[in-house]
A and B are shown apart, each in its own frame.
Chain A
Amino acid sequence: MSAAHEPFADPLVAFDGSPASYLKAARSLATTAETRKPITVAILASFTADVLSPYLVVEAARRGYALKAVVAPFGQIEQQLFDAASETYREKPQVIVIAIRLEDAARALCDDFVRSSPAQLAHEVDAYVARLRRLVTSIRERSTAHILICNQAPLARLVAGLADASIDPSQQDVVADLNRKIADVARSSSGTYVLDIHRLSCEVGLARWIDPKLVYWARVPLSTEAQIATAGLVARYVRAVDRPPAKCLVLDLDNTLWGGVLGEDGISGIQLGEDYPGNVFKAFQRQVRSYRDRGVLLAIASKNNEADVREAFASHPDLVLRLEDFAATQIHWNDKAQSLANIAAQLNIGTDALVFFDDNPVERAWVRERMPEVHVIEVPKDPIGYGAALDAAGVFDALAITDEDRGRAELYRSDEARKTLETESTSLEAFLENLRMKVTIGAFDAATLPRITQLIGKTNQYNLTTRRHTRADLEQMMARGGIGIWMRIEDRFGDNGLVGVAIAIPDGEDYELDTFLMSCRVLGRMAETTMFSSLARRARTRGARRMWGQYVATKRNAPAAGFLAKHGFAKSESRPEWWTCALDQIEALPTLFELVEQS
């Protein structure tokens, strides 16, 4: 036996990034007891993709997954995907990757570009896209797996050479047009995303993307470096489809958002401005603000005098970030682990949704030790590398950005105002009346499904069953007679957006409460009762007499524990673990707010 089989040694410990160490680590990952989360990924390619397997296994393990790769023989894409009994479907993959290289499918766009007529070129592009559509449709009929479609790397060789960039259409335009149409295919199917090979090949470098001898001898159109990079990208997508992105970026101030130490150097002494080194920190602040724009909450955990910091934010002309951009601030001399816990509590999110960025390695080590669930970014010594380190961590990777994401930071700001009102009001009823809430409830539709799927994927606390359905799952449930409703809440401070989801599925003559969840932002407003009443009435309209429900306990969903008892459910004697309630008992609605019911 080789040393690779030692018990308990994590195969990734001696990993050095060389191809040989990938192979060794992949082999020992296959033979050691695995504590990582299992996930099956099917790959269907127009070329030999088997070579990717060991790299995929290791890249997935580095992100916490025990990946099983099911690679179809090259060129067997239709044979696998059109056959419900094929090996691909038998393995029940959670992720299916489709990679059809231009050279294997649309030669007119490659070396035949100049000899092909515009009509031929258009025909080839359309044929490629139509083929993809058929494949995606076929998968959707048979599987709820997430689908990743590879787009095209820039061509290694341009037929017109130097002239390509000047002709119309250029060969590169045609490929770019194809990539846009590939993205259209992904957008028009649920749970389907583009695997951005175009971008990845640019990052690796076109000159290094292909190793010609592998193309001719082994039918592998990727150099070893490109194989490893592709595996890393697939693993990143796997993480993003499986796990909700982190929610909050917690930042230090001194030597992180600006250079120098505010308490020692003073407001005029810190490095922040248009010239080096201040421009490095200013650029980093812009990047941080762009994370806020796409829905990441920002927070400060800094050891400083709070008054100094407030003065700096009020008076320094080069601060890109404003104090109002931060949803929570912890500025004092106490323990930073405690600061992080306070931030999570204030924002009503778990500490595992926090990302910590601090230039001080001692603080990072302390937080790592005290709160292993927090994602601590390894910050480089040179501030020029801060932005790249933050991006490369991929902890905020999301596959789509919703309108709610764009407006989230604003929401949390009005949340602060709401909390102030809470301390001013003397009774809960008075507080709720003061909020002047408007609750709107409606049935699932194409416009709301993206946000519904997102909420189902990330709501941890007020979640009765924590079932993570994909959009395709939801569509199937509705097709089989399920009732799915969403709830929006507006109040005097603003629109909270779509914050509640409930699903009941038919069970004989009764209905089962499959999913019931609410964003923590709106807890404590009796909105859950309103949403349940609406669901119950809809079930009764369809002739149901009883609703069945279950509380599935997780580490995080204690807030939902009392839901069933509070809403008229009693423990079932015939079905252990289940609760049931008669639908004719549903009480009149609380009248604390205006209710708008859409069909």
Chain B
Amino acid sequence: MTTRIARVLSNVFGVNAAEITETTSQDTLEGWDSLNHIHLVASLESEFRVSFTTDQALAMTSVAAIRAALSEHGVAGD
């Protein structure tokens, strides 16, 4: 994927953006642990200039869920 979401995930987890798909999630991506999840939320907030609620931050465990949380802020992740 060449979306901004994929670029953020690539930077946070150190994987190639091309390997990231809509179904990439905490279960499929090695290194997506609780510590890196904090870094992921920080990186997404900075990239998209939004501030997630705690429940949104905790629910963002896949690319699809990230997209959903962003859309609640009226932001597209592309």
Contact for B46 among A20, A212, A214, A220, CB less than 8 A: A20
Complex CA–CA separation, A212 to B53 (angstroms):
10
CB-based contact A24/B11 at 8 Å? yes
Contact for B57 among A20, A50, A51, A213, CB less than 8 A: A213
The 8 A CB mask of B33-74 against A (1 = contact, 0 = none) is 011001100110111000011100110000000000000000
The 8 A CB mask of B14-40 against A (1 = contact, 0 = none) is 111000000000000000001100110
CB-based contact B14/A2 at 8 Å? yes
Which residues 199-213 in A have Cβ within 8 Å of B in the complex?
A: 212-213
CB-based contact A23/B38 at 8 Å? no
Identify the closest chain A residue to B58 (Cβ).
A217
Whether A20 touches B43, Cβ cut-off 8 Å, given contacts A50-B35, A214-B38, A218-B38, is yes
Which residues 19-44 in A have Cβ within 8 Å of B in the complex?
A: 19-21, 23-24, 27
Residues from chain B with Cβ under 8 Å of A217 in the complex: 54, 57-58
Complex CA–CA separation, A54 to B46 (angstroms):
16
A-B contact count (CB 8 A): 51
Tell me which of B39, B42, B47, B53 has the highest count of chain A C-beta atoms within 10 A of its own C-beta. Answer: B42
Shortest CB distance A2–B (Å) = 5
Shortest CB distance A208–B (Å) = 11
Say yes or no for A470: interface residue by CB 8 A criterion. Answer: no
Whether A19 touches B42, Cβ cut-off 8 Å, given contacts A51-B35, A217-B57, is yes
Whether A20 touches B52, Cβ cut-off 8 Å, given contacts A51-B38, A213-B57, A224-B45, is no
CB-based contact B38/A213 at 8 Å? no
Complex CA–CA separation, A227 to B38 (angstroms):
12
Residues from chain B with Cβ under 8 Å of A214 in the complex: 38
Say yes or no for A8: interface residue by CB 8 A criterion. Answer: no
Say yes or no for A216: interface residue by CB 8 A criterion. Answer: yes
Residues from chain B with Cβ under 8 Å of A21 in the complex: 11
Identify the closest chain A residue to B36 (Cβ).
A23
Chain A residues within 8 Å of chain B by Cβ, number: 22
CB-based contact B52/A213 at 8 Å? yes
Residues from chain A with Cβ under 8 Å of B47 in the complex: 18, 20
Shortest CB distance B35–A (Å) = 5
Complex CA–CA separation, A214 to B37 (angstroms):
11
Which of the four size classes fits the interface of chain B? 20 to 34
Residues from chain B with Cβ under 8 Å of A213 in the complex: 52-54, 57
Tell me which of A19, A21, A217, A220 has the highest count of chain B C-beta atoms within 10 A of its own C-beta. Answer: A19
CB-based contact B38/A2 at 8 Å? no
Shortest CB distance A424–B (Å) = 66
Say yes or no for A377: interface residue by CB 8 A criterion. Answer: no
CB-based contact A19/B16 at 8 Å? no
Say yes or no for A4: interface residue by CB 8 A criterion. Answer: yes
CB-based contact A23/B58 at 8 Å? no
Identify the closest chain B residue to A215 (Cβ).
B54
CB-based contact B39/A23 at 8 Å? yes
Complex CA–CA separation, A24 to B35 (angstroms):
15
Shortest CB distance A240–B (Å) = 28
Identify the closest chain B residue to A224 (Cβ).
B42
Residues from chain A with Cβ under 8 Å of B57 in the complex: 213, 217
Contact for A18 among B14, B15, B43, CB less than 8 A: B43
CB-based contact A27/B14 at 8 Å? yes
Complex CA–CA separation, A218 to B41 (angstroms):
12
Residues from chain B with Cβ under 8 Å of A220 in the complex: 38
CB-based contact A23/B43 at 8 Å? yes
Whether A18 touches B38, Cβ cut-off 8 Å, given contacts A2-B10, A4-B14, A213-B52, is no
Complex CA–CA separation, A27 to B53 (angstroms):
28
Shortest CB distance A223–B (Å) = 9
Residues from chain B with Cβ under 8 Å of A227 in the complex: 42
Shortest CB distance A483–B (Å) = 50
Residues from chain B with Cβ under 8 Å of A2 in the complex: 10, 14-16
CB-based contact A19/B54 at 8 Å? no
Residues from chain B with Cβ under 8 Å of A54 in the complex: 39
Complex CA–CA separation, A51 to B40 (angstroms):
11
Shortest CB distance A54–B (Å) = 7
Shortest CB distance B77–A (Å) = 14
Tell me which of B10, B14, B16, B58 has the highest count of chain A C-beta atoms within 10 A of its own C-beta. Answer: B14
Shortest CB distance B56–A (Å) = 9
CB-based contact A19/B46 at 8 Å? yes
Which residues 445-499 in A have Cβ within 8 Å of B in the complex?
A: none
CB-based contact B12/A20 at 8 Å? yes
CB-based contact A20/B8 at 8 Å? yes
Shortest CB distance A445–B (Å) = 48
Residues from chain B with Cβ under 8 Å of A1 in the complex: 16
Whether A20 touches B11, Cβ cut-off 8 Å, given contacts A213-B57, A217-B54, A224-B46, is yes
Shortest CB distance A12–B (Å) = 14
Identify the closest chain A residue to B19 (Cβ).
A2
The 8 A CB mask of A337-360 against B (1 = contact, 0 = none) is 000000000000000000000000
Identify the closest chain A residue to B43 (Cβ).
A20
Complex CA–CA separation, A217 to B52 (angstroms):
13
Residues from chain A with Cβ under 8 Å of B39 in the complex: 19, 23, 51, 54
Residues from chain A with Cβ under 8 Å of B35 in the complex: 50-51
CB-based contact A23/B12 at 8 Å? yes
- Listed from nearest, the 3 A-B pairs whose CB atoms lie closest are A213-B54, A20-B11, A20-B43
Name B's A-contacting residues (CB within 8 A).
7-8, 10-12, 14-16, 34-35, 38-39, 42-43, 45-47, 52-54, 57-58
A-B contact pairs, 11 of them (CB 8 A): A1-B16, A2-B10, A18-B43, A19-B46, A20-B11, A20-B43, A20-B47, A21-B11, A212-B54, A213-B53, A224-B46
List 8 extra interface pairs beyond A51-B39, A216-B54, A217-B58, CB under 8 A. A1-B16, A2-B15, A19-B43, A20-B7, A23-B43, A51-B35, A217-B57, A218-B38
